[in-house]
Amino acid sequence: MESLFALSNGHLGMRGNLDEGEPVDQQGTYLSGFFEHHPLPYAEGGYGYPESGQTIVNVTNGKLIRLLVDDEPFDMRYGEVVSHERVLDLRAGTLRRETEWVSPAGRRVVVRSTRLVSLTHRAVAAIEYEVEPVDGPARVIVQSQLVANETPPEVDDGDPRVAAALQDPLAAVSQDVEQDGAILLHRTRTSGLLVAAGMDHDIECPHQYEVEHEAREDWARTTVVTVLQPGERLRVVKNVAYGWSGTRSEHALRDQVAAALTSARYAGWDSLVRDQRAYLDDFWGSADVEVDGDPILQQAVRFCLFQVLQAGARAEGRAIGAKALTGTGYNGHTFWDVEGFVLPVLVMTAPGAAADALRWRASTLDLARARAATLGLAGAAFPWRTIQGEETSAYWPAGTAAFHLNAVVARAFEYYRLTTGDDSLDRECGAEVLVETARLWMSLGHHDRSGAWHVQGVTGPDEYTAVIDDNVFTNLMAARNLRSADATCERNPDIAVALGVDDDEREAWRAAAAAVHIPYDAELGVHPQCEGFTRYGEWDFHDGETRYPLMLHAPYFQLYRKQVVKQADLVLAMHWCGEEFTAKDKAWNLDYYERRTVRDSSLSACTQAVMCAEVGHLDLAHAYLHEAALVDLRDLQGNTDQGLHIASSAGAWTALVDGFGGMRERGDQLCVAPALPASVTRLAFRVLWHGMAVQVEATHDEVTCTLLSGNGEGMSMQVYDEEVLVRAGQPVTRPVQRREPLLPAPPQPVGRTPRPAGRDPLSVARSAS
Amino acid sequence: MESLFALSNGHLGMRGNLDEGEPVDQQGTYLSGFFEHHPLPYAEGGYGYPESGQTIVNVTNGKLIRLLVDDEPFDMRYGEVVSHERVLDLRAGTLRRETEWVSPAGRRVVVRSTRLVSLTHRAVAAIEYEVEPVDGPARVIVQSQLVANETPPEVDDGDPRVAAALQDPLAAVSQDVEQDGAILLHRTRTSGLLVAAGMDHDIECPHQYEVEHEAREDWARTTVVTVLQPGERLRVVKNVAYGWSGTRSEHALRDQVAAALTSARYAGWDSLVRDQRAYLDDFWGSADVEVDGDPILQQAVRFCLFQVLQAGARAEGRAIGAKALTGTGYNGHTFWDVEGFVLPVLVMTAPGAAADALRWRASTLDLARARAATLGLAGAAFPWRTIQGEETSAYWPAGTAAFHLNAVVARAFEYYRLTTGDDSLDRECGAEVLVETARLWMSLGHHDRSGAWHVQGVTGPDEYTAVIDDNVFTNLMAARNLRSADATCERNPDIAVALGVDDDEREAWRAAAAAVHIPYDAELGVHPQCEGFTRYGEWDFHDGETRYPLMLHAPYFQLYRKQVVKQADLVLAMHWCGEEFTAKDKAWNLDYYERRTVRDSSLSACTQAVMCAEVGHLDLAHAYLHEAALVDLRDLQGNTDQGLHIASSAGAWTALVDGFGGMRERGDQLCVAPALPASVTRLAFRVLWHGMAVQVEATHDEVTCTLLSGNGEGMSMQVYDEEVLVRAGQPVTRPVQRREPLLPAPPQPVGRTPRPAGRDPLSVARSAS
């Protein structure tokens, strides 16, 4: 619940902890980019191994509002909970809570709160808190707090060094009691980052009340005490503001937080709520997805899209973590899945946020160049996992060796440019990223004696096969990276000159891309995901004891040498580089890999959904879509407590839009080819394309494309390979074309059949209660 | 010097620390198999990763004898050293020292000591210590000591956990002052092993003297004080005895050490010295190697052979470490190089020691079976590095994945059986090892769709290429392992039944061995050392900045995917499985791999020497032989301070005997085919074969085989493929057959040409002074 009810604007995130702090699984308040160092230990080290880790820090908790009713603490573990409801309102951008409770002494009260992390005031969160006695007078004490150095979370991999770094991570710098609250400053002990947290309060009470403000090193407290009659309410609006910096002075940071509080108080609660809704109305207006006939999926996809927005909306120059700001899983690190899965969704729904995330990546180019040099490579090698930009992956076969990340970053820049039509980011930093990653690929690959270009000894998306040769996904993406770099130099000759790119270098890029080796097993008629893969031994799924995820029950050694696939790899290549495969390739390859893919990563179901839909296995696609969309609402990976799976959430949108909607981008043209499974009666989705909002609406019979906003010339797009022009007020409708599969729907490994699509919307409500 | 002057009997080892303790690099007294645990940390862990390490412990120091001359400590860093000589006597098995020293106050004394670690009294070391004033009377105080928990060594990989485990590793158990000395008992804090160390003294002095004995928790001291006139000597004979156990009681261990001291005292110093020499006379009588024309090599090879004997002589049921008992390098672990390189030498020179080492390996079968089960494999998987038998390798691509170790263990058992003609070890435990390793291979390999048998995802001897498919060395050795297991079941049907081996299982072994896939690059006419190797990118040796060892200057990632070879791999296959390669294969392959092998392991030069000699590059072989033989005497790897390279020492013998002697074993027949480089005028070596001692003596003209001891029937052997019968008193002489190389001698990577064979014997004497 704490992860599912997390609120964030991409800069400030708050887990859905209860107002009163307990019962709690993990307290969590996070600031994007704010981290502590910890040592990375190796029993057997190696050259180039990162020595310093980075881990997200739970900063000063500003959510906490404790309540005492007649001197008894309001705690749902004691007394009697008559009713309790929490509502995450995706349209309002708020978390509402209403609890009716009878104290152990028998006093009945209702507590209502509404919490928001402002999408319009980046540094600010606010809470409206009301308490009302029901059956008699009550003395009510409200303690609103800031608390630093709360009990640290349990770290998922149990590394005692990370735990040590998170034990009292914040050294107190200063405490100031202000007129209506307090400001606390702390500094991380090793990374030396300064954080300021402040609160102020607006109190409404029908009677006289008393207020006290106190501050100590690790806490500040505003206490309100009064006596209420039944039906009377004490209302406290608490504004909370945060700031952090590695460079600004203490004084500057204190002022910054004070200003944010002033600004929020000046706007007032109603205005914060109104602005929040307006921001989201704008978002949903061009991004909403409607799925008729499957209410669970409808709710889940909207939840997913809301979380993707929360992850990126105001990150502004900081990395988006794999869990965004919803928990400490993966230590708060960002991975390739942000560029690969999250940004393509943001590009089409909140392109400004996508541009900011890409700017963050580009801002780490110097670190990436240094990393490449350490590895004996040219250009720039972006880190497999990081918060600030340094490589912090401690197991290189599934970290540093996964160089495909760099081509995925390059793709994200191109995706942004082609989808938005905005060339400015390319000129600002994208071209440089494309050139430096192209240089990386040239130093990674080589031409063999017959001229073919190989990339050897790398790891592809499937982490159950590592340090292998000619991974199809990697090679195709590398070739595209090289071509994109060549093209941007063509577009931006001045930048090419500034980066020292000459004709010979560009010719070498084109030659490598043209000669890229793509292994193919002619005997089986399928692509091995890497050289030799289809000749590996098979995993024994039939021993009746297969336990998942395999990596917790079998050594890497066994996983690596068998035909067992953790997550879509060749199948992902068929999605992202679809033009490189024939329809028959896609059908045969999908059939081959479906039987061997165990989906031990949450980043697989969404891609399998897209490709199953493309080859015509619509019911299987539907099942995978449920798995992707419900990964957190149903806790399908068993670790939602560590934070949400943002990339899978984004993938759910992609599975729906690219899968059932058949959406692809070809160059600068949007293409759709909807096909719905029997149980979905209607699908409508909206995307932004070159600044225009377009809606695609499909039933089993016809598809209609409508321009919601845009210029007068309208938008040229493809519907089932037919080019159409969609103008404002002139929707285009075409009959649906069915997809007939070439092969029957394939089976999955034992125990890994996706669950059949559920039909009970209450189960969602229950899981979210 | 401390490593070079180390004395050991395989059970007890003492570094060549000075009697007076200082100056010192690393204090070292080791008991084979005595270790402490330490945690193995992983920043990113994985299933099946070993969690507990083992590290050799510097036990109670019994070598220490401090001297005060007129109250000034005898310390060669102060005063004046007039002369100082230390002699490691390979024939006597002693370390002698004579130092003439003038104290800061001007008193001149001579100190003489002789130290031995007894080869006949396994628990005992003894020191004869004499001090004699030269130029005037001196008050002399001798403090003979036992000291526990000395300053721990610097750990080579700097792991703070190992350092922590070695900080005060011994908890005091008891201290007893005996009549002429003391006994101290300690226990390791985590592994819980008990160690007892005792000393007693026999004192000769021309005058009255006083003696005191004291004991504290971590030290015991016997002090002798007297006044000597010039020319008078104080002589102290110190017997030291050790015992350790994980099971025996404190009382039993104390008694055991007291008994060892009594036995040594009863024998007396002269008898200990006499027995030591007799033991070595016997050894050299059937093991000596003579090299005329190259005095450096002559001395170095004898030194190497002496060290191999010291490593294994009395290990008796404990592992032989890669550094034996000469230092703490590799934490005292044993590796495959003991079975692969050390045991074949011991089999031919001290077969009883070889049998004991093999018994140790067999005694760990249950641990190896458990490890295989953890890895999801059948049979037994021996550990890559261990002291007690558990896998303690923390980097699996260069540890657990190096399964060839198991075939090398199997080979060692077969080598022992075929060389000694002794079947009893096979019945006692060898057959079980062969069967369990065969089962391991069957679970590691698989038949592909065309029937070929592959072993994929393993690491061969070359650690610069890891987790690869169909390593030629591994596959050939695995096939041999399978055939050996089949053959032992044929020989020992009762054991086969007891182990549950049926005809189907044996048939499967034979089928796999017959279908083993050996990659071959027909375009180049060479064997890739693993599938695809000859299509990897080339290492850039021409950048003028290549620094060795490469692993300290480049990431594994780069090393693994390039055609750069750390140590002989395919070339080792050509040595150990020579019958699988044609003469042309050998010439072409050697030419190919010589250009790509950087010898960053000390385990490479010896094998390269053998194969260079076989294909006729005799001068190159000679240069490699020097490198192997002088690895420690010249500190060629720069880490002799951490202990001697025992496997390289053994390899030097092999390089000489298998290289220039052309010795091979074919089934149960010994074959020789000598060929000497120009500068070596005569080579003579002696080996034990089926209980017979035979000498092979070669010049540039002829080769003579002489039976030194054996039965009346004589010995059938091959000389240049001719079968001859050698009887006592009837040497066989044949003319030398020249080896004409098919190709010119190949170059090596930049900076890795072996040094030309030196000709200055003084340089050895200097390095050993």
Q: Is the pLDDT at B156 greater than 70, yes or no?
A: no
Residue in A closest to B403 by C-alpha: A557
Q: Is A239 helix (H, G, I), strand (E, B) or coil?
A: strand
As a whole number of angstroms, the distance between CA A134 and CA A568 comes to: 56
Mean pLDDT for the stretch of residues B623-650: 96
Are B465 and B529 within 8 A, CB to CB? yes
Q: Is the pLDDT at A767 greater than 60, yes or no?
A: no
- Count of CB atoms within 10 A of residue B368's CB? 26
Are B767 and B689 within 8 A, CB to CB? no
Could you tell me which of A19, A222, A31 has the C-alpha nearest to residue A128? A19
pLDDT tens, A611-640?
999 999 999 999 999 999 999 999 999 999
**Given an 8 Å threshold on Cβ–Cβ distance, is A42 in contact with B44?**
no
Q: Is the pLDDT at A18 greater than 50, yes or no?
A: yes
CATH superfamily for B33-278 is Glycoside hydrolase, family 65, N-terminal domain (2.70.98.40)
Q: Is the pLDDT at A247 greater than 60, yes or no?
A: yes
Q: Is the pLDDT at A165 greater than 90, yes or no?
A: no
**Residue B181: per-residue pLDDT:** 96
DSSP assignment of B727-749 equals BBTB-EEEEPPP---SSPPPP-S
What residues of B are labeled active site? 463
As a whole number of angstroms, the distance between CA A364 and CA A379 comes to: 13
pLDDT tens, B686-722?
999 999 999 999 999 999 999 999 878 899 999 999 9
Which amino acid is it at B628?
A
Q: Which of residues 372-401 of A touch B (CB under 8 A)?
A: 374-377, 393-401
Mean pLDDT for the stretch of residues A544-570: 94
Residue in A closest to B38 by C-alpha: A43
Q: What distance in Å separates residue A483's CA from the closest CA in chain B?
A: 22
Q: Which of residues 603-622 of A touch B (CB under 8 A)?
A: none
Q: What distance in Å separates residue A347's CA from the closest CA in chain B?
A: 33
pLDDT tens, B358-395?
999 999 999 999 999 999 999 999 999 999 999 999 99
**Residue A667: per-residue pLDDT:** 81
pLDDT tens, A42-65?
988 999 999 999 999 999 999 999
Are B337 and B322 within 8 A, CB to CB? yes
Q: Which of residues 165-184 of A touch B (CB under 8 A)?
A: none
As a whole number of angstroms, the distance between CA A35 and CA A53 comes to: 10
Are A68 and A59 within 8 A, CB to CB? no
Q: How many residues are there in chain B?
A: 769
CB pairs under 8 A between A and B: 143
Confidence band, pLDDT 50/70/90 cuts, at residue B763: very low
**Residue A764: per-residue pLDDT:** 41
Mean pLDDT for the stretch of residues B253-268: 97
Which single residue is written with the structure tokens 């303790």? B21
Confidence band, pLDDT 50/70/90 cuts, at residue B765: very low
Q: What distance in Å separates residue B724's CA from the closest CA in chain A?
A: 49
Which amino acid is it at A680?
V
As a whole number of angstroms, the distance between CA B534 and CA B529 comes to: 8
**Residue B157: per-residue pLDDT:** 55
**Given an 8 Å threshold on Cβ–Cβ distance, is B48 in contact with A555?**
yes
pLDDT tens, B285-302?
999 999 999 999 999 999
CA torsion angle for A306, A308, A313, A317 (degrees, to 10)?
170
* Domain layout of chain A by residue ranges: 7-282, 288-660
Give chain A's mean pLDDT.
95
A549 touches chain B (CB under 8 A): no
Which amino acid is it at B745?
A
**Given an 8 Å threshold on Cβ–Cβ distance, is B41 in contact with A43?**
yes
Residue in B closest to A464 by C-alpha: B457
User: A536 contacts in B (CB within 8 Å)?
Assistant: 456-457
- What is the H or E stretch that residue A33 is in? none
Q: Is the pLDDT at A162 greater than 80, yes or no?
A: no
Q: Is the pLDDT at A502 greater than 80, yes or no?
A: yes
Are A644 and A632 within 8 A, CB to CB? yes
Q: Is the peptide bond before B104 cis (omega within 30 degrees of 0)?
A: no
CA distances from B262 to A349, B70, B201, B248 (A): 89, 33, 11, 20
Q: Which fold has domain A7-282?
A: Beta-galactosidase; Chain A, domain 5 (2.70.98)
Backbone angles phi and psi of B245, in degrees to 5: -165, 150
**Residue B766: per-residue pLDDT:** 39
Q: Which residues in B522-551 are b (16+ Cβ under 10 Å) and which e?
A: eeeebbbbbbbbbbbbebebeeeebeebbb
Are B429 and B359 within 8 A, CB to CB? yes
Which of A44, A375, A523 minimises the CB distance to B557? Answer: A375
- In the structure encoding, which two tokens stand for residue B685, read together? 């070596």
Q: What distance in Å separates residue A329's CA from the closest CA in chain B?
A: 14
**Given an 8 Å threshold on Cβ–Cβ distance, is B551 in contact with A46?**
yes
B576 touches chain A (CB under 8 A): no
Residue in B closest to A40 by C-alpha: B43
- Residue B467 region, left (φ>0) first, then alpha (ψ -120 to 50), else beta? left
Backbone angles phi and psi of A407, in degrees to 5: -70, -30
Mutation pick from A400, A446, A535, A559 vs chain B, by most beta carbons of B within 10 Å, is: A535
**Residue A360: per-residue pLDDT:** 98
Mean pLDDT for the stretch of residues B607-636: 97
Q: Is the peptide bond before B549 cis (omega within 30 degrees of 0)?
A: yes
Are B228 and B57 within 8 A, CB to CB? no
Give chain B's mean pLDDT.
95
Which amino acid is it at B678?
A
User: A399 contacts in B (CB within 8 Å)?
Assistant: 44
Report percent pLDDT > 70 for chain A: 97
B449 touches chain A (CB under 8 A): yes
**Residue B762: per-residue pLDDT:** 38
CA distances from A428 to A315, A354, A363, B714 (A): 19, 14, 11, 88
Are A355 and A415 within 8 A, CB to CB? no
User: A463 contacts in B (CB within 8 Å)?
Assistant: none
**Residue B761: per-residue pLDDT:** 45
What ipTM goes with this model? 0.92
Q: What distance in Å separates residue B1's CA from the closest CA in chain A?
A: 28
Mean pLDDT for the stretch of residues B609-633: 97
Q: Which fold has domain B662-737?
A: Maltose phosphorylase, domain 3 (2.60.420)
A525 touches chain B (CB under 8 A): no
Which single residue is written with the structure tokens 């390859």? A589
Residue in B closest to A49 by C-alpha: B555
When mean pLDDT is compared across A51-55, A489-493, B85-89, B357-361, the lowest value belongs to: A51-55
**Residue B756: per-residue pLDDT:** 61
Which of B161, B377, B557 minimises the CB distance to A401? Answer: B557
Q: Is the pLDDT at B270 greater than 60, yes or no?
A: yes
**Residue B542: per-residue pLDDT:** 76
B545 touches chain A (CB under 8 A): no
Q: Which of residues 451-510 of B touch A (CB under 8 A)?
A: 454, 456-458, 466-467, 469
**Given an 8 Å threshold on Cβ–Cβ distance, is A561 in contact with B157?**
no
As a whole number of angstroms, the distance between CA B241 and CA A465 comes to: 54
pLDDT tens, B319-333?
999 999 999 999 999
Which single residue is written with the structure tokens 């407290």? A221
- Count of CB atoms within 10 A of residue B70's CB? 18
Mean pLDDT for the stretch of residues A736-752: 95
Confidence band, pLDDT 50/70/90 cuts, at residue A711: confident
Task: Give the CATH number of domain A288-660.
Answer: 1.50.10.10
Sheet containing strand B12-14, strands side by side: B7-8, B12-14, B29-31
**DSSP state for residue B375 in the 8-state scheme:** T
Which of A449, A551, A557 minimises the CB distance to B457? Answer: A557
Mean pLDDT for the stretch of residues A23-32: 96
Sheet containing strand A732-735, strands side by side: A289-292, A682-689, A692-698, A702-709, A732-735
Q: Is B478 helix (H, G, I), strand (E, B) or coil?
A: helix
